[in-house]
């Protein structure tokens, strides 16, 4: 595949090596015939799913051993971009060797994570993420055909975005995995909110139980609490004055996050810890003011006193806070 096929060569670096390899050399592309399955005494399942918004479509072939419900053969045909091909290939790979009941638990997140080179770096750029989220739907269709049940019976999660079929669990996981901070980022990564927009916030043409703005606020709050708790746990593993430098910085950050930072941010400012130095009489904490706090008259009086007194109360009376 030429670089021009990826919306310009500048996007290459945003694709994982696994994705670019499977774009050009998919391992499971093709079809399984009825003759093949009949010869082995297996059952052939063919399921289609298409995303009307972007034109991508995938056809999934399963060869299932009815004696054990095991998927012994799995292939696909994809009609779409390179990202759709790579994600379909990985989805097909994940199905192999699983029972139908196990395969239906494969999610779009499982496929995207499997395409990553490293766990903390997304496999594709945000604007192409929607091309890798067809797995769950087509697998449900295939499982429904095999088991003779309606595919909706596999739906165990709350669907927030009906247009893109994105669940509450997927949204929560994507926000956490990618540290998303805006609804626009959620749409880039999952396609949720990109169509009728009713799921973004109240006031759309269709009332929803869940809205992206509320989900984002809730998950971000949970992430902040978890971050503070982790820092506090690391910081309270012993007496503050005997902690390592890293433990001290984490403990200081946790206190500031919990008691100070929110008020600075409300006024357009912030603060960061630059260094911590010990002496027999003092523990000197060097800080830098950011935003509106930088140069503010209160930064050397009231604000400084509030930060220092809070840290003294919660950590050590030996603390001095020194702005630089």
pLDDT at 237: 45
pLDDT at 10: 58
| Catalytic positions | 54, 131
pLDDT at 126: 66
- Domain finish residue from 235, 261, 285: 235
- Domain finish residue from 235, 266, 294: 235
Q: Are residues 241 and 282 in the same domain?
A: yes
Q: In terms of residue numbers, what domain contains 9?
A: 3-154
- Domain finish residue from 154, 171, 198: 154
Q: Are residues 22 and 133 in the same domain?
A: yes
* Secondary structure string (H, E, C) spanning the chain: CCHHHHCCHHHHHHCCHHHHHHHHCCCCECCCCHHHHHHHCCEEEEEEEECCCCCCEEEEEEEEECCCCEEEEEEEEEECCHHHHHHHHHHHHHHCCCEHHHHCCCCHHHHHHHCCCCCCCCCCCHHHHHHHCCHHHHHHHHHHHHHCCCHHHHCCCCEEECCCCEEHHHHHHHHHHHCCCCHHHHHHHHCCCCCCCCCCCCCCCCCCCCCHHHHHHHHHHHHHHHHHHHHHHHHCCCCHHHCCHHHHHHHHHHHHHHHCHHHHHHCCEEEEEEEEEECCCCEEEEEEEEECCCCCHHHHCHHHHHHHHHHHHHCCCCEEEEEC
Q: Are residues 257 and 196 in the same domain?
A: no
What are the pLDDT digits (tens) for 59-70?
Answer: 999 999 999 999
Q: Are residues 169 and 219 in the same domain?
A: yes
The structure's pTM equals 0.51
Question: Number of structural domains, the chain?
Answer: 3
Q: Are residues 128 and 215 in the same domain?
A: no
Low-confidence ranges of the chain (pLDDT < 50): 1-9, 235-237
Q: Are residues 112 and 210 in the same domain?
A: no
pLDDT at 263: 86
Q: Are residues 80 and 123 in the same domain?
A: yes
pLDDT at 158: 84
pLDDT at 185: 94
Q: Are residues 145 and 24 in the same domain?
A: yes
pLDDT at 94: 96
Q: Are residues 134 and 197 in the same domain?
A: no
Q: Are residues 136 and 167 in the same domain?
A: no
Q: Are residues 11 and 147 in the same domain?
A: yes
What are the pLDDT digits (tens) for 222-264?
Answer: 888 777 666 555 544 457 888 888 888 988 988 898 888 888 8
């Amino acid at each position: 595949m030429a670089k021009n096929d990826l919306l310009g060569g500048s996007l290459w670096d945003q694709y994982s090596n696994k994705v670019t390899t499977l774009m050009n050399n998919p391992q499971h592309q093709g079809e399984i015939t009825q003759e093949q399955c009949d010869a082995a005494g297996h059952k052939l399942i063919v399921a289609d799913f298409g995303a009307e918004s972007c034109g991508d479509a995938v056809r999934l072939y399963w060869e299932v051993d009815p004696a054990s419900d095991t998927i012994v053969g799995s292939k696909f045909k994809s009609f779409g971009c390179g990202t759709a091909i790579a994600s379909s290939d990985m989805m097909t790979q994940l199905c192999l060797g699983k029972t139908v009941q196990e395969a239906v638990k494969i999610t779009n997140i499982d496929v995207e994570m499997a395409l990553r080179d490293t766990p903390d770096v997304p496999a594709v750029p945000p604007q192409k993420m929607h091309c890798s989220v067809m797995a769950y739907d087509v697998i449900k269709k295939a499982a429904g055909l095999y088991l003779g049940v309606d595919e909706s019976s596999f739906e165990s999660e709350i669907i927030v975005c009906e247009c893109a079929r994105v669940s509450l669990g997927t949204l929560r996981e994507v926000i956490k995995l990618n540290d998303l901070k805006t609804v626009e980022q959620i749409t880039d990564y999952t396609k949720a909110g990109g169509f009728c927009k009713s799921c973004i916030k109240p006031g759309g043409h269709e009332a929803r139980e869940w809205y992206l703005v509320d989900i984002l606020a809730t998950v971000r709050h949970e992430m902040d609490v978890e971050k503070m708790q982790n820092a506090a746990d690391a910081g309270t593993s012993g007496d503050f004055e005997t902690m390592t430098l890293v433990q001290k910085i984490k403990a200081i950050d946790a206190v500031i996050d919990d008691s100070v930072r929110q008020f600075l941010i409300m006024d357009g400012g912030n603060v960061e810890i630059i260094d911590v130095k010990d002496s027999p009489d003092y523990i000197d904490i060097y800080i830098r003011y950011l935003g509106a706090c930088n140069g503010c008259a209160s930064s050397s009086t009231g604000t400084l006193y509030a930060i220092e007194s809070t840290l003294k109360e919660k950590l050590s009376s030996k603390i001095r806070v020194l702005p630089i």
